[in-house]
Amino acid sequence: MFVVLVRAGCRQRADALSAGSQGFPVIMPPPPPAAALALPLLLLLLVVRTPPPTSARPSPGPDYLRRGWLRLLAEGEGCAPCRPEECAAPRGCLAGRVRDACGCCWECANLEGQLCDLDPSAHFYGRCGEQLECRLDAGGDLSRGEVPEPLCACSSQRPLCGSDGRTYAQICRLQEAARAQPDANLTVAHPGPCESEPQIVSQPHDIWNVTGQDVIFGCEVFAYPMASIEWRKDGLDIPLPGDDPHISVQFRGGPQRFEVTGWLQIQDVRPSDEGVYRCLARNSLGQTEAPATLTVLTPDQLNSTGIPQLSLVPEEEAESEEGEDYY
């Protein structure tokens, strides 16, 4: 509009000069009022304050905190006219897709454990994906001033068996795996865990130590039905500890669901304790095992290796640790 006014004024001035050159009296048009000059400036300000089109918004990415600030800067104080053909298609959305604050374009939803907006009308951190809901995380230490944060949490915590034969802790984990590999056509086979043979998820490690010290082997096993764990030495079929008072075993469930953890502790190791120890796990579907080697050195053998004895625990400290947990 501002350009049209300028051209019209120039045309009037040119007509007046042409008339003057032909001997007619020149009548110059009156100067435009101040209101007419302010109108083009107002239009320019409105153009500057108009939010950028949808195509100028930043494409969604994994850094949802940075995305929140960029979203506010891009959207300004309102929404531009919706043009779906200008929207960038989000990719790699493991939690599914949700509409943006303007209800126009699709963007990646937030995954489980990511920050989210408790207020549905807000749109800073973003919205949670399918089968997820925004909840306040009360897992922090409130007595130390930690503020609960709104995090995306799965609406169900029941395990599922996938069509790939794997057990998933809940539906959200299965959906993430399905979206990560769409060609696999992963679906829910049935509620509850998949039946499987024992799988050793954490094997015992080889250990060397000096006579008189204590050693501990650990073994974590996943299976459904739950597996039982036994410890054997040097291929013998007799489960430990047997009648040996300086060897003990302990078991407990966890740390994850459908897992069991076993420990073998040898106190005051001797040269005769040296050998290969096996963690043997079994259930009604099968069994598996994992070996670990114990090497026992005498003080003279340790001195001959040239390794400093800095790792040895003083007797006073060892006595103070008796009765404590293994962790």
Domain with CATH 4.10.40.20 in the chain: 88-137+148-155
- β-sheet bridge partners, residue 210: 297
How would you label 280-314 residue by residue, b for 16+ Cβ within 10 Å and e otherwise?
bbbbeeeebbbebebebbeeeebeeeeeeeeeeee
CATH superfamily of 197-304: Immunoglobulins (2.60.40.10)
Residue by residue, pLDDT tens for the chain (327 residues) are: 433 333 334 334 334 434 444 444 444 455 555 544 444 444 444 444 444 443 333 343 445 555 555 655 555 557 888 999 989 999 999 999 999 888 899 999 999 999 999 998 888 899 999 999 999 987 666 677 778 899 999 999 999 999 999 999 999 999 999 999 999 999 999 999 999 999 999 999 999 999 999 999 999 999 999 999 999 998 788 899 988 899 999 999 988 888 999 999 999 999 999 999 999 999 999 999 999 999 999 888 877 766 655 444 444 444 444 443 333
C-alpha 104/C-alpha 89 separation (Å) is: 12
Q: What is the pTM of this model?
A: 0.56
CATH of 88-137+148-155, one of 3.20.20.80, 4.10.40.20, 3.20.20.70, 3.30.390.30: 4.10.40.20
Please state whether beta strands 106-108 and 97-99 pair in parallel, antiparallel, or not at all (unpaired): antiparallel
Q: Which residues, other chains included, contact 45 with Cβ-Cβ below 8 Å and sequence gap of 6+?
A: none
C-alpha 193/C-alpha 161 separation (Å) is: 5
C-alpha 187/C-alpha 177 separation (Å) is: 10
